[in-house]
Amino acid sequence: MTLSEPLSVIAPDGRVNGYDPELSEEQLLHCYRTMVTVRVFDEICLKLQRSGRIAFSIPNKGIEATQVGAASALSKTDWIFPSYRDFGMALYHGVDPKEMMHNMFGNALDTAKGRQMPVHFSFVDPIRFYSISSPIGTHIPQAVGAAYAAKLRQEDTVFLVSFGDGGTSSLGFHSGMNFAGVWNAPVVFLCQNNGWAISCPIEEQTASDGFAVKAEGYGMPGVLVDGNDLFAVRKAVVEAVKRARRGEGPTLIEARTFRLGGHSTSDDPTRYVPQEDFEKWAKLDPILRFEKFLEASGLWTPEKAQDLRKGIEEQIRSAVHEAENVPDPGLETIFSDVYAKVPAHIRAQGEAAFDLARRRGDAVSGDGEFPL
Amino acid sequence: MTTRTLIQAVNDGLKTAMTEDPSVLVFGEDVGLKGGVFLATEGLQKEFGKERCFDTPLSEDGIVGAAIGMAMNGMKPVAEIQFQDFIFPAFDQIVSEAAKLRYRSGGQYTAPMVIRTPYGGGIQGGLYHSQSGEAYFCHTPGLKVVIPSTPHDAKGLLIASIDDPDPVLFLEPKALYRSVKGDVPEGRYTVDLTTLREARAGKDLTLFCYGAMVPVAMKAAEQAAENGIDCRIIDLRTLLPLDEDGVLEHAKSTGRVVVLHEAPRFCGFGGEISALIAEHAIEYMEAPIVRVTGFDTPFPNTLEHHYLPDHRRVLDAIERVYHF
């Protein structure tokens, strides 16, 4: 398949040819810091998973610029409807990595109360980072409905919904894009085309020239950007957000990038991704790319980077230490939050479970392994 | 108090809710200008405008998905699925999303919304305009499933469903849309979503049913009365969560039970009623618990009157249980 060339801003030497990101030095460094935090968080989670301390994780290596570039275009009042490979967006807006680590351990302080697998975050503060669902694409029409509500109340909130290349094959992608087009809803659709839906390459998802072109069929603009270029992503999302706030409706952005790792900690990508692809894309590492820009702008030195990374490692390790020592959620969390008020039949089942635990001791967890 | 058909009561309920609360939105396929294929939403667009009562693209997944988004962002969506038979593209949104959102987000996000849809046979609608899919949904923790059988309850249960903080699937018996009439109070009132209704008093036997089967049960009970069998009829109204205490109380007090629904029998809702009684009140039973249901086949067109349980089949079951 021949693919169109994506828009890029940061040249290989770090120059941006007159592009003004409209970010302060502090904000630029915050972008960098967030990307490094994502990577360090992932590295540590991989070790935790390999040593059996957490069950599962989803790596983001290679996608960091897409996440952070997109997040940098949003205000705190905007909403993010993320996929499971997007937590850099929440970090950018100030969610504490500690909160995420509680979810990785599924402990009593996890916002999802240990009910979801790791990486299925949910946050409302300091930004709406919508509860992540495992089924693919279901959140897409939901983002459009939330946007309709905001539009009806004449708020200027924008709704960014993110999904992968595989997500474009889902029912939710079609209905969400279609509804947003018809309703002229303030939504930014961000397709992170990382090349692979678990083990299926994009040729097995679509016969079209990438994904941005699909926008035309829904009556909205489609933009193709280099997803490893933080400014290219930012530029496209800033434009799309402006359009949405002006009442001009939705935009689809395809950020072309590459997953420099497995789908998850349970997946071995060397079984299906050609080695040369890894090598090619490793050279296009989005963090290195941004470092080049910072270096060319005089904002970065290797020493500074080392210090920053060290600090982040300490921060994440301390989050691990804290989260690992928080107890499991109480048994009652199985039965609460099903409904606003616990109905009689669920209450009776809960009481029976408490009684059994009192009489026969706690249940013992099994040793099954997650396959994906 | 006005005499209304069931569908007029639904329309009245929607109108009442929309008048009181500007966040109530009504949408679906053909619900706007046309007022819905059964005219449940007739006049609403004219009265409340295109932003609050509107047509959507023809996608059940999109309708329910968007409704969830509206609900989590402060609106009160009342989505219509044109026929319950067409709801399955939205099954994922209902079962995996709306019903689980409060739970999976630890209460950070919720989906207080209503999905209204006509269900059941009786209009010569064949396989795809006749199904009774309540059992699929009653197997879904986090969802409420409500089925009215009278105009009074249709309005009161609908307003209660719109008020409810959890997602409600509101199944409307299309066979009764225009065939039943009753007194409906003006303005707001609610019928709570936690209790069943005794539709007919009786001491010999309890018939549990809901929706379009309630009038069938009533007719069978009248004929049974001529033979000296006094049947109590219980309209369950809210299937999930079920008024289990109420079911057990009525089962115990007559000691004989027939369960009636038009959905297929296997894994149908009648099995739940039967099992509940068997588990908690078997010692009160003087006869086997008998189910009268649709057949375990797809829903036929020409012969639908043979498929649907009627008073003959119910009467057979009543006599079998009574004379056991």
Q: Residue B92 maps to which CATH number? A: 3.40.50.970
User: Could you tell me which residues are beta bridge partners of residue B169?
Assistant: B115, B145
Whether residues A133 and A156 fall in one domain: yes
Residue A60 to residue A53: CA distance in whole angstroms = 20
> Both A264 and A351 in a single domain?
no
pLDDT tens digits, residue range A304-334?
A: 999 999 999 999 999 999 999 999 999 999 9
Catalytic annotation, pick one of A246, A272, A321, A347: A272
Question: Which of B153, B184, B215 corresponds to the end of one domain?
Answer: B184
Q: Rounded CA gap, B244 and A347, in Å? A: 12
Count of CB atoms situated within 10 Å of the CB of A363: 10
Residue B41, domain member (yes or no): yes
Q: Which of A85, A120, A128, A259 is catalytic?
A: A259
CA distance B279 to chain A (A): 14
CA B72 to CA B110: how far, in whole Å? Answer: 5
Please tell me which residue of chain A has the smallest CA distance to B140: A338
Indicate the number of domains in chain B: 2
> Which among B66, B70, B105 has the least Cβ separation from residue A131?
B105
In a domain, B189, yes or no: no
B37 and B159, same domain (yes or no) = yes
Report pLDDT digits (tens) over B194-240: 999 999 999 999 999 999 999 999 999 999 999 999 999 999 999 99
Q: Does residue A3 register a pLDDT over 70?
A: no
Domain of residue A342, residue span: 331-360
In this structure, the answer to whether residues A296 and A354 fall within a common structural domain is no
For the cut 60, the answer to whether the pLDDT of residue A343 exceeds it is yes
Residue in B62, B70, B75 nearest the CB of A176: B62
pLDDT band at A1 (very low <50, low <70, confident <90, very high): very low
Of the candidates B180, B121, B131, B175, which has an alpha carbon nearest to the alpha carbon of residue B155?
B180
pLDDT value of residue A357 = 92
Structural domain includes residue A128: yes
Q: What is the CATH number of the domain that holds B212?
A: 3.40.50.920
Contact criterion met (CB < 8 Å) for B104 and A149: no
Pick from B184, B216, B239: which residue ends a domain?
B184
Asked whether residue B207 falls in the same domain as residue B180, the answer is: no
Q: Does residue B145 lie in a domain region?
A: yes
Q: Place A372 in a pLDDT band, splitting at 50, 70 and 90.
A: low
Nearest to B108 among A124, A140, A141 (CB): A124
Does one domain contain both B236 and B295? yes
Query: How far is it, in rounded angstroms, from Cα A13 to Cα A292?
Result: 6
Same domain, A280 and A337: no
My answer on whether B296 and B180 are in the same domain is no
CATH number, domain at A253?
3.40.50.970
Domain contains B99: yes
Kindly state whether residues B202 and B238 are assigned to the same domain.
Answer: yes
Share of chain B above pLDDT 90, in %: 100
Whether residue A366 has pLDDT greater than 90 = no
- Structural domains counted in chain A: 2
**Domain end among B184, B207, B230:** B184
Determine the residue type at B25.
L
Q: Is the pLDDT of residue A368 over 80?
A: no
Q: Is B119 exposed, middle or buried (0-12, 13-18, 19+ CB in 10 A)?
A: buried
pLDDT over 70 at A34, yes or no: yes
Domain range for B291:
197-322
Read off the pLDDT of each residue in A346-359 and give the average, rounded to a whole number: 95
Q: Is the same domain home to B234 and B128?
A: no
Summarize pLDDT for A125-151 with one digit per residue, the tens: 999 999 999 999 999 999 999 999 999
* CB half-sphere exposure, A217, CA atoms < 13 A: 11
Residues B7 and B116 in one domain: yes
Q: What is the mean pLDDT of chain A?
A: 95
Q: Which of residues 105-164 of B touch A (CB under 8 A)?
A: 105-110, 141-142, 144
| Region A256-265 average pLDDT | 93
Q: Does residue B191 lie in a domain region?
A: no
ipTM: 0.96
Kindly give the parts of chain B with pLDDT less than 70.
none
